[in-house]
Amino acid sequence: MKAFLVLENGDVYEGESFGYESEEVGEIVFNTSMAGYQEILTDPSYKKQIVTLTYPMIGNYGINPEDMESDKIQASGLIVKEYVSLPSNFRSKESLSDFLIRYKIPAISGIDTRKLTRFIRSNGSPNGGLFVANNYSNSFLDKVKSFSGITGLDLAKEVSTKSSYEFGEKTGKQFSVAVYDFGVKTNILRKLDEAGFSVKVFPATTPVETLFQENFSAYFLSNGPGDPEPLHYAIENAGKIIEKNLPLFGICLGHQIIGLATGKKTTKLKFGHRGGNQPVINLKTKKVEITSQNHGFAVVEGESISKETTHLNLNDNTNEGLGSSTAPLMSVQYHPESSPGPHDAEYLFTDFFNMVKKFSELK
C-alpha cells in the first residue's frame, strides 16, 4: 500500500506503508540515534508524536521482548528512509513491520528523511499525519489541521500506570524510593533497583500525602511526554516534597516539574533534542558527557546561569540539570539510563543513592 506523510503547511511526502494500514496525526519529530528504534518507539515520552529516524536503514536487527521500555508502542507513527524487511539478529523474535502491525501503528518508508529533518530544523516541529491509502485525498490535510498540537495537553495521565506496583528486588535493600510515573521507562526502574533502592511506582496523580504515609527514603519524578505546565498536580506534589526537605531526583519531564516547582519557567524548543549524541557539561566536574535525550520543552535558564544549574547543553546552552547546596535535590534533562544511547551519565543513579545515604546519616 502507498502511504502519505502530510505536514500542516501542505507539504506531502509519498512513500510505502510497512506498518498498520491506518491513519494517525501528531507532532512530527526526528531522532538522530543510530540504533535503538524499539526503545524509541516504546518510550512513553513519544506519546502523540510521529518519529522520523535519521539513520537511513531501519529494521535490520528486528524486535525482541527484552528491549521494551513500556508495554506497547507509544509513538503515533514511524518515518524511515529504508525499511529492512528481513532482520538478521539472534535476539530477534519478529520483524519491525510485524511489531508495528501488532500495535496498530502506521509507518512510511521510501521518503527523503534528510529533507524532512532539514525542514524541521529550519521551521520547527510541525503537526502532521500518516495516511495509508491508494491515493492522496484533500481530507488528509484537513485532519492534520484539526490537531491542536501537544502544547497545553496533559499527556502524562494517558501513559501513567493506573495502579501502584513494586519493581525489582525488595529484600535486603537499605533505602526505598517512590517513583511518580509520568511515563517512566523500564530501564530507569531497572537502574534504580540496581543502585540499591527498593522501588515502588505510583500513578501520576497520586496525592503526595499518600506517599508520605509509607515513609519512603526518597522520591523520584520520571520522564514523560509533552508539556509540563498543565501538570499542576505534579508541580504541587514536587513542591511539597521539596518543602519537607526530602531527597528528590527528576529525569526529563521530572526535571522540568522540579524547575516549575522551584519558581522557574519552561519553554517549548524549536525542534527539541532527540538522539544519543547530545554533549552536556557537568559544571561541577567540568567533564563533558555524551547523552541520550528526548524532550521538546526545557527549563528556562534566564539571562545568566543560576547557582542551581548543574549541567548545560553545549549545543545550545539550554539547562540540562538542577541541584541545591542546601537541599537533597537533583535533576537532569537527559536520560542517564541510556536506553538507547551512551552510558556516560549512569553515575547519576549512584549519586542519587549516595545523596539519600548522606541525608539518612544526617537525620
CATH architecture of residue range(s) 156-362: 3-Layer(aba) Sandwich (3.40)
Per-residue cell: 148: 491542536
Q: How far is CA 173 from CA 164, 168, 305, 356, in A?
A: 19, 11, 38, 13
165 forms bridges with which residues in the sheet? 201
Per-domain boundaries in the chain: 2-145, 156-362
362 forms bridges with which residues in the sheet? none
Q: In terms of residues, how long is the chain?
A: 363
Q: How far apart are CA 170 and CA 235, in angstroms?
A: 28
The answer to whether the bond into 328 is cis (omega within 30° of 0) is no
180 φ/ψ angles, rounded to the nearest 5 degrees: -80, 120
Class of domain 2-145: alpha beta
Q: How far apart are CA 249 and CA 139, in angstroms?
A: 46
- What pairing do the DSSP bridges indicate for beta strands 319-323 and 309-313? antiparallel
Per-residue pLDDT of the chain (363 residues), as tens digits, is 999 999 999 999 999 999 999 999 999 999 999 999 999 999 999 999 999 999 999 999 999 999 999 999 999 999 999 999 999 999 999 999 999 999 999 999 999 999 999 999 999 999 999 999 999 999 999 999 999 999 999 999 999 999 999 999 888 899 999 999 999 999 999 999 999 999 999 999 999 999 999 999 999 999 999 999 999 999 999 999 999 999 999 999 999 999 999 999 999 999 999 999 999 999 999 999 999 999 999 999 766 678 899 999 999 999 999 999 899 999 999 999 999 999 999 999 999 999 999 999 987
Per-residue cell: 341: 544511547
Show the DSSP H helices in the chain as ranges. Answer: 37-41, 96-102, 113-123, 139-145, 156-159, 186-195, 208-212, 232-243, 253-261, 347-362
DSSP secondary structure string for all residues of 258-280: HHHHTT--EEEEEEEEEEEEEEE
Whole-number pLDDT of residue 302: 67
Residue 231 is classified by DSSP as -
Closest to 78 in 3D by CA, of 51, 115, 110: 51
Whole-number pLDDT of residue 120: 98
Whole-number pLDDT of residue 362: 85
Q: How far apart are CA 259 and CA 245, in angstroms?
A: 16
- Residue positions annotated with a catalytic role: 252, 335, 337
**Residue 41 and residue 162 in contact, taking contact as beta carbons nearer than 8 Å:** no
Residue 63 is classified by DSSP as B
**Torsion, CA 254, CA 283, CA 187, CA 340, rounded to 10:** 110
Angle between helices 347-362 and 186-195 (to 10 degrees): 50
Q: How far apart are CA 77 and CA 31, in angstroms?
A: 13
